[in-house]
Amino acid sequence: MASPTSGISRLGARSAGSSSPTTSSSPSSSSSSSSSSSASSSDSAASSAGASSSGASSVCANATGAESESARASIRRVRRAMESSFERPAYHGLIGVVNASRRSARRVPGAARRTPFHLVAQPGAACQSGPGGGPPLPALTVVPLGGLGEVGMNCMLIECEGDLVVVDAGVTFPGRVHGIDLDHPRLDHALANQQKLRAILITHGHEDHIGALPYLLRELDQPVPVYGPPYALALIRKRLEEHHLDFPEMIATRPGQRFEVGCFDVEPVRVNHSIPDATSLILRTPAGTVVHSGDFKIEERPLDGEHFGTAALQRVGDEGVDLLLSDSTNIDVEGDSGEEADVAEAIDALVAGAEHRVVVAQFASNVYRMKAVFEAARRHGRRVLLLGRSVRNHAAVSRELGLLDGVADLILQDDDARDVPRDQLCVIATGTQGEPPAALSRLARGTHPALELEAGDTVVLSSRIIPGNEKIVFDLTDMLERVGCILHHRKNRPDVHCSGHAARDEQRRYLELCRPKTFIPVHGTFHHLRRHAALAREVGVEQTLVIENGAIVQLERGRLEVVGEATVGRVHIDRGTPVDEELLKERRLIGELGHAVVAFSIGRGDRFLGHVDIVARGFLAAEVEDALLDDASDYVRRDLRRAKGEGPGELEERARRALRRYFYKKLRRKPIVTAMALEVG
């Protein structure tokens, strides 16, 4: 077994404290097999202990001061743990190393949250030798920075022989959280190892896979090429333009066309998803073959005619897949995810039967569904109005790439929509999740400048409700009902939407095609990951490892080992600018408690001149505000007049405390108070 410090030295990992992980092992493992492996574990650990001294040198040689001491301490902890594990069975010895390192590690600010993992090994899982029984293969290291234990912010680092690639760099949208527009994963670990970074590989163009690219690219010291499918690259260019960033080298990938990046031989594989050009990635390396599924589903009748890459996955399964990383989102959904062709038929039937306008609200990136609306509109003599910036952006990109050919004559401008008879108009709108600024919410409220809905108009919610958005979506549907619209959604018309993520039977099929020796589930909550790992064991996968963001995992000689933790977390973005936790805390407090500003005048010698002005927001009822603030001004004025020889800063603190005291006496509230001394003369 290779030294656990080797992955740390290669990737410059920083240990972040965590509670002990939980583990499980196959019930069929016998005590005899455990005891027989004990000796090999001891020999392996002993050789690793010897190797770790060179690892210590390589780590410490590149560090100074506190960093060097931290590295030495980390190595000492691992070595002690290894020495104490000599008499344990192989897998238990591994767990002991990781646990001991984690228990003694000090938690640092902003470090990874608790990263439990579950390692399950089937009996007979063999170590992997080199070709022809030669020297063992080198290790491959995997570090998820986002997307595990959560849905969104997908970002995975994969390293072999000193070459590092990033697979996807996405964001998540936290909702209405005190002005935060989006979150992206902390990229410290990628930036600390950027001298090894050879490329960024993109599986597809959804924001939870490409949205963090501007924030990563602007921090890199040297440009790094970005490989991805054409549709994803077109969206990335738009994002970089919005951020006023220069384009890196961007290379379009095609299914079946292999290319090399460092020691990686990369092969994209066509998969079905709810956006064009989605791919899985086969990464062939000297350490073994890794398959990253990306987001996928399996369709028999894809609307674009691009069939799922069954043959490519079957072929790599025959060659041998050492590690599979696969989408876990819909592990709880039995059966399959459904076909876009069925949704297209449902939309066509609704357009055909509608007497007045038809509004289809959908996720903007689902170009297949957008095309289905255009085709239904043409068949039934209607024009199409696009409402919402993201819908228009995706329509424009799709037309540029030839995915929406022949629709230009159908598209209406906003100013022309009111002149089109109601029975000749289709609308494609954003706002499936009830977002207040989105097109559908504005239509429901009657505030959209382009159009006003009327009783009898048909509204199709061609989407699912994202967990957490139920209340706001129900409020939206209530508003549409009050207008008198005819509503169709998944509850009363299931075929108006299907998921872009594989359901359980499709996930099983993917596992059966690849037949991996080891498996790490990705893209899902911890519940999803555990359930997906259980499915992998059902189909005979030898080892499964359930981890969360920040786990540094090595694949070496056919075995998965957690060898450390990277610093991970979220970076909050407000209008393109990072917002730290302290500022976010202030916003939360102001939102919960309210805010008051007290300003007063001082003259020469810091003498209080008697003028006090107070402004309050967020906690006073309008009918009592004026009288209460006048009384509060008198209270603060009396307190300031008692001051003797105090400077401006002390006077401000005195005024702040006095006003807080007043509000607590009168209202039993303690709002955030800001005080300002204004010098006069």
474: phi then psi, degrees, rounded to nearest 5: -65, -40
Helix axes 526-538, 504-514, angle to 10 degrees: 50
DSSP H stretches of helix in 386-543: 389-400, 439-445, 470-483, 504-514, 526-538
Confidence of residue 299 (pLDDT cuts 50, 70, 90): very high
Residues of the chain within CATH 3.40.50.10710 domain(s) are 340-496
Side chain identity at 460, as an amino acid letter? V
C-alpha separations of 645 from 603, 641, 676 in Å: 13, 11, 18
Residue with tokens 């927001």: 617
> CB count, 10 Å around CB of 190?
24
Please check whether the domain covering 594-679 is classified as CATH 3.20.20.60. no
CB 31 within 8 A of CB 71: no
Write out the residue limits of the CATH 3.10.20.580 domain(s) in the chain: 594-679
pLDDT band for position 121 (cuts 50, 70, 90): low
Kindly indicate whether the domain formed by 340-496 is annotated with CATH number 3.40.50.10710.
yes
DSSP type of residue 409: G
Task: Convert the pLDDT of each residue in 499-541 to its tens digit.
Answer: 999 999 999 999 999 999 999 999 999 999 999 999 999 999 9
- Identify the CA nearest to 297 among candidates 543, 154, 503: 503
Mean of the per-residue pLDDT values of the chain: 83
Is residue 552 within 8 Å of residue 8, measured between CB atoms?
Answer: yes
Distance of alpha carbon 199 from alpha carbon 248, whole angstroms: 11
Measured from the Cβ of residue 678, the count of other Cβ atoms closer than 10 Å reads: 12
Distance in angstroms (rounded) separating the CA atoms of residues 444 and 450: 13
CB 30 within 8 A of CB 113: no
| The pLDDT value given to residue 22 | 35
Q: Under 8 Å CB-to-CB from 260, ≥6 apart: which residues?
A: 266
Q: What is the pLDDT of residue 127?
A: 39
Give per-residue pLDDT as tens, 643-678. Answer: 988 999 999 999 999 999 999 999 999 999 999 999
Contact 86, 94 (CB under 8 A): no
Of the candidates 612, 657, 607, the residue with the CA atom closest to the CA atom of residue 634: 612
Q: Please tell me the pTM assigned to this model.
A: 0.75
Q: How far, in Å, CA of 1 to CA of 138, rounded?
A: 11
Provide the b/e sequence for 374-390 (b: ≥16 CB within 10 Å). Answer: bbbbbebebbbbbbbee
Q: What angle do CA 282, 284, 288 make, to 5 degrees?
A: 115
Q: Is the pLDDT of residue 31 over 80?
A: no
Q: What pLDDT does 120 receive?
A: 59
- Pairing status of strand 518-522 against strand 323-327: parallel
CA atoms of 425 and 415, how far apart (whole Å): 14
Q: What is the DSSP letter of 255?
A: T
